[in-house]
Structure 1
């Protein structure tokens, strides 16, 4: 196992707490992900949790499903798989041969980025600790060219070099840290 598992647990807990506060009145709001409204973003979070659970267990790529409102339960199942040593070993054929450790970092990045997106869209609070921000920034800096090529990251948004790690991470993946609905 790796030292990012505690960061994954923290990010999953914070994102689940935020998701539980989202009401029906929020579902149609725009998000920093131009292609998603809040309901679409929640659906994406649910799908991501199920996808990372499957590929960490050596399973197939799972297609997205309709929003069901069960993100907290799905992310707990994902974390349960990451408790097993084999979730960190080898590669995932379902994800094009990517190392499973890379997939775990992708899961963490997804939780942090979309937790922030959801917070911005709804106006609900969401905190990212400095250690987690630094980890996702470093990972995303290594993956940015591939992430943009595959459509996972948007065009980089210029952020000052001395900005906090979270803001630099957000700019790197194509988010404007000052975004407001």
Structure 2
């Protein structure tokens, strides 16, 4: 049985929250697989995504060109609060029906975009800070074909890098990361492979929901 976006986001949030809450203040200036973003900037970007996609679930207008400073005060606690609101927003009965965003994409497709950001950026932050991160199998099963379908448009709009080469033995997470242009073997200070880009579903989000990017390519 196909899981709802709310159920998938809840599973993704359960895996992402320990990563974000475990970030030490001394790690905020460190590099990430998104070369244009340090840890602080990537957390800030993920906050913006989580907040704006709550609004998209409610069919409200959003503006990704405005990025407030979220990483202040008890930002770890507030990130948990905002992800809970995201799950709640995408769990409302009927939320996956119809369309949302300026270009009128199917609502479930828009929900998959934030599911992708929450999952892939959690991996980015985990890899940058040395945290453990293993996405839920149900989330990977949904995102694998979903992001692969979005990838051609994302590359055309310079939001995904070229697919990173991985072997036939690569697992589902490595294949997902490779589709976005990320090197699954990336480590802080490493030189192997190409850096990923900030947006996992940025191209589709740009044209379909915001009209502006809100992300920076590596």
TM-score by length of 2: 0.77
1:79 aligns with 2:87: yes
What's 2:204 paired with?
none
* 1:66-105 equivalence runs, <5 A: 66-68=69-71, 69=75, 70-94=78-102, 96-105=103-112
What's 1:29 paired with?
30
What's 2:143 paired with?
136
What's 1:176 paired with?
183
The count of corresponding residues between Structure 1 and Structure 2 is 180
What's 2:9 paired with?
8
Distance 2:137 2:96 in 1: 24
TM-score by length of 1: 0.92
1:161–1:168 contact (8 Å) kept in structure 2: no
String of CA shifts for 1:55-88, please: whole Å, max 9, x gaps.
Answer: 1110012332212322211111111111112321
String of CA shifts for 1:5-34, please: whole Å, max 9, x gaps.
Answer: 322101112211211111111100100011
What's 1:20 paired with?
21
Deviates more, 1:148-157 or 1:159-168: 148-157
Give the structure, 1 or 2, with the largest relative contact order (CA under 8 Å, sep 6 or more): 2
Residue 109 of structure 1 deviates from its aligned partner by 0.7
Q: In 2 relative to 1, CA 87–152 (structure 1 residues): closer, same or farther, beyond 3 Å?
A: farther
Distance 1:58 1:131 in 2: 26
What's 2:192 paired with?
none
String of CA shifts for 1:93-146, please: whole Å, max 9, x gaps.
Answer: 33x211110011111111110000000000011111333222211111111012
Q: In 2 relative to 1, CA 107–93 (structure 1 residues): closer, same or farther, beyond 3 Å?
A: closer
- Any idea what SS the aligned residue of 2:147 has? helix
